Structure formats: C-alpha cells, structure tokens
Chains A and B, each alone.
Chain A
C-alpha cells in the first residue's frame, strides 16, 4: 500500500485532517515528526497547515530548519512528491523548494471561506486526477496568503506552466496574478494556500473536490 507521510511541527493544526484525507484516498497515512531525521520510507509527503513555531519570525521560517526538512528537501530533489498546504506552502517557499513568498493579506484580515480555484496545470504529481481548466471549491483560511515574487520569477512561472491553481472570482489575499498554488520545475513539489484536506467528505466542508490531490499522488507514485 502506498504510504504518505504527514509532518507534524509544533503548531501544526491540520495534520490529522491531512492524514484522514490520505486514508480516504486509499493510502496509508504515516505520522512524521519535525524533530526526526527520518521519512520512514514514505512514498510522498504532506506539509500540513497551521502555525508552525507560532509563526514566529515569519510563517515557515523556523520550520524550514527542522531536522525533518533536511530529509524532505533532499528527497524532493530526487523526485518525491511533496505537497505543502497553507503553512506547508509557506515552509516550501522558505525552504526554497518553491520560489516566491507569502505575505500578509492585502486587506489585513484573516480570511476563511469556501474558495473557487481553477486548475491551470493538471500534470503535476498532485493534480493528475483533475482536468486542465477544472474548477474546484475548497476551503481557504489564512492571514498571510498573498503570493509575491519578482516580475522575472512570475514570468518564468507563467511561461513554464508552473502556476497550478488560480483563484476564481475575487482575489482573496492580494496574490500576484490570482496565483493560489505553484509547482517546481519537475512538478513533484506543489504548494497552495487553500486546504484540499478539508474537502474530502460530503458531511463536512463544501464537498469532495479536494480528494483528487491525494488520489493524484497515489497514481503518480505508481507510475
């Protein structure tokens, strides 16, 4: 059975939901600890949402230097699928696994709502189960979700098809070009602000549009 690791940092909030999403997608969730130099041989890794290290200094700035991140960075560079959700996306940017940075929302308030996204790249390790152009509704909840990068980086992301998700309707946080999520050159590392793990069951949340992230990873691992 495919094993997907979910890292828990001090201050992670959504690690349990992420593990549940992994299980619902048909894989075995594996709890990984921030202080361990060990990925326990998992086939993919999720960095969950929350407030690692209390968001001290900058969101994700301290988590980047957690022992487990050394292993995540090295495994990611050899192709391991890695998904960063919200705080996990911030950690991926701080770790330089993804370019750019996330800053405080332009309207200065925390936002929590069901957000429509458009899939712009359905060929990454975490999006192969979606269609190009498909619209998804999944929860968004953040205070520092404004994606920024210099003009050259944005042009490169756009030119190489590395913008994976774009916000549809109102831009919720001031992100450049409505960017909600991006990927690395290889397409195995994906980060986004909205929370697919909160949209995996009809009983809770706005539907099951988020499940495809986790089933995509399963499929990518088997290929």
Chain B
C-alpha cells in the first residue's frame, strides 16, 4: 500500500525556537560542524492508491489541517516501496 509523506516546516522567516534549542545543545555534546537546525513535522499517510485525485486531496489536507500557511510550508511526496536504510529484517 503506498505511503504519502507530508513534510511541514516553519517558514524561513518565522522564528523556530525548538530548532534553536536543538542547535544550542549540539556544541555541548561536542558536535561543532552544524551551523543551523530547523525543526518541522513529518506525517505518513497510508492510502489505497497514490493517484492524482488522492494527492490533490492530500494537498488540501496539508493546507487546511496539517500545516498553518501563515507560519508553515508543506511538501507532499509519495514514498517508494523501499524503506530507507533497509528493512527491519536486514537489521535482524
């Protein structure tokens, strides 16, 4: 069954206190090469089929509920069958 991913991120001009907090913690842990962190949300939507109509509907969901267009941007994409980083079995 296809899975559709909706990524929601704070708009670049909107202050992201959570990302800032994460970024602030990195040097304390010894990670010094990261210059900025922005924190967003990832939604995984299971659908029967990822056809055009379904994706249009999901874009509407992303716009009205999953994100607030005043402060956030969203991106919709269909995930391909493979699980990133290998399946659970690969790691067993």
Which residues of A does B touch, CB under 8 Å? 57-58, 61, 65, 93-94, 99-101, 103-108, 146, 148-150, 174
Cα(A65)–Cα(B15), bound, Å: 26
- Nearest A residue to B10 via CB reads A103
Task: Verify B15–A100 contact, CB threshold 8 A.
Answer: no
Contacts of A103 in B (CB 8 A): 10, 14-15, 17, 71
A216, B72: Cα distance in complex, Å? 36
Given known A65-B65, A108-B21, contact A174–B15 (CB-CB < 8 A): yes
Most buried by B among A99, A101, A149: A101
Within 8 Å by CB of B14, from A58, A108, A148, lies A148
Proximity string of chain B (57-79) to chain A, C-beta cutoff 8 Å, 1 when within and 0 when not: 00000000110101100000000
Give Cα distance in the complex from A100 to B70, angstroms: 6
B71 and A94 form a contact (CB under 8 A): no
Interface residues on chain B, number (Cβ under 8 Å): 12
Query: Please, how many angstroms separate the alpha-carbon atoms of A115 and B71 in the complex?
Result: 26
A148: contacting residue among B20, B21, B65, B71, CB under 8 A: B71
- CB A171 to nearest CB in B, in angstroms, measures 13
Number of A-B contacts (CB under 8 A): 36
CB A108 to nearest CB in B, in angstroms, measures 5
Residues 1-55 of B contacting A (Cβ, < 8 Å): 10, 14-15, 17-18, 20-21
* A108/B20 in contact, CB under 8 A: yes
Q: B68 touching A61 by the CB < 8 A rule?
A: yes
Please state if A104 and B65 are interface contacts (CB–CB under 8 Å). no
List of A residues within 8 angstroms of B21 by Cβ: 108
State how many angstroms separate the Cβ of A99 from the closest Cβ of chain B.
8
Assess the B65–A105 pair: CB atoms within 8 A.
no
Query: Separation in Å of the B21 CB from the closest CB of chain A?
Result: 6
B68–A58 touching, CB < 8 Å: yes
Which 4 interchain pairs have the tightest Cβ spacing? A101-B70, A104-B17, A108-B17, A101-B71
Q: Which residues of B contact A93 (CB under 8 A)?
A: 70
Chain B nearest CB, measured from A130 CB (Å): 28
CB < 8 Å: which of A61, A99, A146 contacts B65?
A61
CA distance A150 to B66 in the complex (A): 20
Chain A's closest residue to B67 (CB) is A58
By a CB distance below 8 angstroms, the chain B residues around A65 are 65
What's the minimum C-beta distance from B20 to chain A, rounded to whole angstroms?
A: 7
Across the two chains, which residue of chain B brings its CB closest to A60? B68
Q: In whole angstroms, how far apart are the Cα atoms of A38 and B66 in the complex?
A: 27
Q: Inside 8 A of B20's CB, which chain A residues have their CB?
A: 108
Can you list 17 pairs linking A and B with CB atoms under 8 Å apart? Answer: A57-B66, A61-B65, A65-B65, A100-B70, A101-B68, A101-B71, A103-B10, A103-B15, A104-B17, A104-B18, A106-B15, A106-B17, A107-B17, A108-B17, A149-B70, A150-B70, A174-B15
